A = this chain, B = another copy of it.
């Protein structure tokens, strides 16, 4: 009562705009007044409209559009303890190296999962070291309802800390110390590596070399293990191994070193398509023709893989699918806390293109 009086006596609203920008946005009370109902009824009408008469609901709805009412998010989360937002956490080392080509893809996927929800995505980039504490504090500070962590690096026990924190969390890409109740979604990088090896072996190549990704990333490590196991299974030896940082330039440098030490190389497996582009460019510069002299297999099935010349044979890394799944799983776990779903791992699949086409001489021999 007094409150209403105060409101009314606070000068004419349109004559005295508060901020320089615009008038105060209408509150639930304004809405209720305009609809001729109580705050409670107005509130119920807005949230699903349960236990409210049709006419009251109609009145409120009309008032909403008339006033352009928007619920105050802060007030709402204050009482519901729900922020309607989730965090996408990305350790900074990852963004330039691993995430760069996949950023748009990951975001798109998560956004897709959030589409029909009113959940918003908050981006959290965390620097190495002490800053992780800040990020962690933010996450458990109740600012978000859950988190998706994209971390392939050996990072300082984020995993445990988050899992113990009780905040619903899904990892994209298997974290290093994934034990207990840690949920993640990934693709089978090990199988992917093996697929590449089997493919190279089937081509009849005898001197396969490797441009591997950073050894401290699970994806890179798994791909490498799979590839090496696959070679062994086919009776082949790894003919030179160089590490790079997943970038094109890194791939170039690695290939230079590789060819210097192992000129007899007749096949290269690069742990990422970006690196494979570097491999192709160096081979071209050296006059080694692909796929005639050297077969090349990449990884990721990046958009670029179709555009290279020759087009790149590669292993599919279904990032969009993984991101969508991560989003969906997180929403589910927020809805029903306590459930710790099993990891989801998508199968590996090879896409054959020109860079491993059967060499002319062999195809002639076969014909």
Contact = CB atoms under 8 A, between A and B. Distances in A.
Interface of A: 19-22, 25, 70, 72-75, 77-78, 83, 85, 88, 95-96, 99-100, 103-104, 107-108, 111, 120-125, 137-138, 140-143, 165-167, 247-249, 251-252, 277-278, 280-281, 284-285, 303-304, 306-309, 337-338
18 contacts: A20-B166, A21-B165, A21-B167, A22-B166, A72-B78, A72-B142, A73-B141, A75-B78, A88-B123, A96-B108, A111-B123, A120-B124, A120-B138, A120-B143, A121-B123, A122-B122, A249-B303, A249-B306
B70 A142 contact: yes
A100 B104 CA distance: 5
Given A141-B73, A142-B70, A247-B303, A21 B337 contact: yes
B99 A104 contact: yes
Q: Give the top 6 A-B pairs by smallest Cβ distance, nearest first.
A: A21-B166, A248-B307, A70-B141, A281-B309, A103-B103, A74-B78
Contact of A20 (B137, B306, B337): B337
Given A107-B103, A107-B123, A123-B107, A281 B308 contact: yes
Contact of A104 (B83, B96, B121, B124): B96
